[in-house]
Structure formats: C-alpha cells, structure tokens
A and B are shown apart, each in its own frame.
Chain A
C-alpha cells in the first residue's frame, strides 16, 4: 500500500558486481522522496550509470534491494518498471531508432498503452517542452547532436513516468539547450515528478537540484543539499573523486560567507553582509 509518504525510490544496502567480476557498487543506501530533484555526481567509473540502471531493472542488485514507489524491483520486468521510471540515455544514438522524430517520441507512450488523443497529447506536449515541435516530421539524423539529445529526453518525457532519470542531459548542449534542460527539471518537480540527474556540470547541479549524492568507487560518500555538499569542509572529499565545487562556493569560502553553492546564494550572502570588506 502506498501513501504520500512512500518514497519514490528506496535503496537498501545495494551492491553490484558485473559478470566479469568488476565491483561497481557497494553498500549504497538512500531514499528519495517523491518530487525531489536529486543529482548524482562523481568521476567517470564511480558507479553513477550503474546505480541508475538499477532503478529500472536494466541491472539487478547483486546485494541489497531497490524499491520503486514501495515495490521491490525483483521479479518485475524492465518493461513494467518503465511505466514508473523513465531513463534518458547519455548517448542519444543508443536510444534513437525511428526514421521520424514524432514516431520516435511515440514509441514509449505507445508501449505503455496510450492511443489516440491521449497519445497525441503526450507526444505534442513532450515536443513542445523540448522545443522540437518544428522538427516533428524530420529524420532524427538530420538533427544535430544537441537536438538529438533533446529528442531522447522528449521520448522519455512523453511516457509521463513519476520518476525521470537524466543521464548527462547537458553535455554537448549550448547555452539555450542547458537553459531548456534546467527549465524541464524545475517543471517536472513542480508537477510532482521525481527527477534524478547524473551530471559533470557542478554549476548545473548546484542550480537545478536540491540534493546532491556523491559517489566514489561505487560508494556513497556525501549526501545532502548543494549547500551542505559544496561546503568547504567537504572539499577534500570532493577532490578525492576529482570534483570541484562551483565557483560561487569557492568565492563564498574565500570571503568567509559560509556555503554559497550558487550565484544567487552568493549574492544573497553578500547583500546580507554589507560590512564585508570585499564588497561595497
């Protein structure tokens, strides 16, 4: 029985070993409430992609378990979990297969059983959100890389899943593309959907997400708000997984203004401390 307090995602003691013996995750435990915006960060190979693939069943736990909206993923097909967890792949070319943008976006919702007017609405909505309405009849391979990435995102958005996972949504995007993705993350959460984002871009992470989970070598080493995670006390831990806090956090530390992970937070801190000798 689910209640409003049931977390969207509950992970308990999760461990994962690849068939060739490589261990990718160890003892990961965390819980994501509905509607939260969570970023997962860490260097290449730290287990980020492995972790999110446990959410929709593409990979299965070696130890521990994963609960999606209160139900264990064990025994549930990937196709069944796809109704609850939408995953936009990092490389759009691994996801795109249709000859036309519209057909590509239709695929997911169609698999979930949508037809007719409901299907059209889902597709049209997703195309609008990602700015691809004009390209609806185009061949995906005539679009540039960043548009194909948005197409992969649209294909997942159209499925209307309560949990949306974005794997590196801003790589290769120009400023407008990044702004669009940021808007999408905010809008999804505002609509009550849970957003999980993997990213290397600490500025994007600090500005768009309310919670940051840091992985190193398959283990969870930090978990908190951007303000907590990017605080100076944690910089050595971040450095151990080759991450650097965003510029505003560094400036805020230099000016002894506390933890200011975003530009807005730094400005607020400066305005609140007019006596600071570095600002006038």
Chain B
C-alpha cells in the first residue's frame, strides 16, 4: 500500500502558523524512508499527517492530499486508519494503554480491538514479541518497565496490528546499541519480508545509512532535501540543518580537511573489514 503526500500542509488546531508546508512524498510498499532534521522542525507533525491522525484524531487543518492506498486519510475513520498505518510516538509511556496487566495483554490490545479471532491474536502477539526479542517481558507489568523496555513494548504493540505502513518517531531513542541494532534488523526484515512501507524519524544517521533507501531532511516544516540516503547524508549543509552526519561521513571529511584521503575500503562496516 502506497503512501502519497502531494502538497501536504498542516496547521494544528488553534495554532497561528502551519507546522508542515507543501510536502511531497511517495513511499511504495517495501521501501524504508528516513526523516532527519532539528528538533521542532516538523518531523513529528509529518508522522501524524502520514498516519492520518492529523486531522482524524487531533483536528486541525490539512491542506493538499494525503492518501493511503489511494484513499484520502481525511476521509477515513481513526480505526480504519489504524489498520492501514501504525504509528509509534516518541514517548512510549503515553502510548501504552495503561490498563493491561501484562506486556502480552498490552501487545494484544490492538488486535483485540479489531475483533480478530483468538488464534490470530495469539499468533500476532507471539510474532511481534519474537521479532523484537522481548518474549521474556511477556508476563511483566507494563507500568514497571525501563524506558528502553517500554519503547520496545510500544513498538511490538504497533507491529501486532500488521499495518501496511509503519510510521516511527525516533523508535530507538531510549535503546542501547544492541536494542538499536535489533530494531533496525526487525524493520529491515519487515520491509523486505512483508512489503511494509516504513517512514522512520531518527537522529541516528548511522542507523539510517544501513536501513533507509531514501532520506528526507525537514526544516521549518518543509522538506528541504530529499533523495537517496548516501547522497542526502553526505550533504555538507546537514550540520546547519541540525543533523549529525553519519560517523563515516564525518570521519572522511575530517581526514580530507587534513589534506589526506582514505581508501573507502578502510571505512567498510565493522566486522567486514580488512584492508582491500
């Protein structure tokens, strides 16, 4: 299912100026698109608009066109949107229902709401927990989790809905490098294996280098750069836009500034590397 934004603009209810202006974006099934930008540049708003929650759930004014699988999001009800687009918010704690006794039941919340047969609910919960490696958390109280665990549980809850589009707002912010790697692998697997379209906001450009095929840079509510990951993340103006370039890029630049050059093979991913 394709996500298509054409000239999309959005103004929050009661706000004086728009938070998002003239965004054009297409994400096909199986594609992973990264979004970077300074904080408060409009990335989170872009997530809400892409998932249709803006305006369906929070009101406000949506201009232009936002379609999921050809249907305008403004014409879909929240629960219809939920089945097409799953969204993970920055704050995992507010995303959890607060009424589930166990992580298992928390992850089952979404599928249950859709009145799926019990066997299906069980299968989806099991799969979501397994893909993120958190089966051991299943019996735990969701209110008693660490920040990182809560984030993984919130992500599992979204995955359990099996939406065709995943919109993730900083899904690894609370995770250690291992957790970040797990989530990255899980997302890559989903995109490749099930054709899920993925829009992921991240500060960790190293992660996006491995995960995303294309990257957008958001600044002041507009998309100011858009293209293949390697090109966009090597853009020298990234720093001015509040984005940390990937380690590889930063390193190469520093070496070049010193008047030297490095064989690209030396910068190969960890573990693959001996000098070529």
Binding site for B on A (CB under 8 A): 43-45, 90-91, 144-147, 171-178, 200, 202-203, 242-244, 246-248, 250-251, 254-255, 263-264, 266-267, 270-271, 278-280
Contact = CB atoms under 8 A, between A and B. Distances in A.
Given A145-B91, A255-B275, A263 B146 contact: no
Interface stretch (B15-23, B124-132, B170-178): B170-178
B103 to A, nearest CB: 16
Contact of A44 (B90, B148, B274): B148
Contacts of A278: 262-263, 266, 275
Given A178-B244, A251-B251, A279-B262, A144 B148 contact: no
Contacts of A44: 146, 148-149, 175-176, 178-179
B174 A171 contact: yes
A45 to B, nearest CB: 8
Main secondary structure of the interface of B (DSSP, over half): loop
Q: Which of A144, A248, A264, A267 counts the most B-chain CB atoms under 10 A from its CB?
A: A267
Contact of B39 (A45, A147, A203, A263): A147
A264 B257 CA distance: 11
Which 5 A-B pairs rank lowest in CB-CB distance, beginning with the nearest? A242-B178, A247-B247, A175-B244, A279-B260, A146-B39
25 contacts: A43-B177, A91-B147, A144-B39, A144-B40, A172-B173, A173-B39, A174-B38, A174-B244, A175-B203, A175-B243, A177-B39, A178-B244, A203-B247, A242-B178, A247-B248, A247-B267, A254-B273, A255-B266, A266-B255, A267-B255, A267-B257, A267-B258, A270-B255, A270-B262, A279-B255
Nearest to A274: B260
Contacts of B261: 279-280
A250 B274 CA distance: 11
Interface residues of B, number: 41
B20 to A, nearest CB: 15
Contact of A174 (B203, B270, B273): B203
Contacts of A254: 266, 273-275
A74 B159 CA distance: 48
Given A174-B39, A278-B262, A264 B275 contact: no
B177 A242 contact: yes
B11 to A, nearest CB: 17
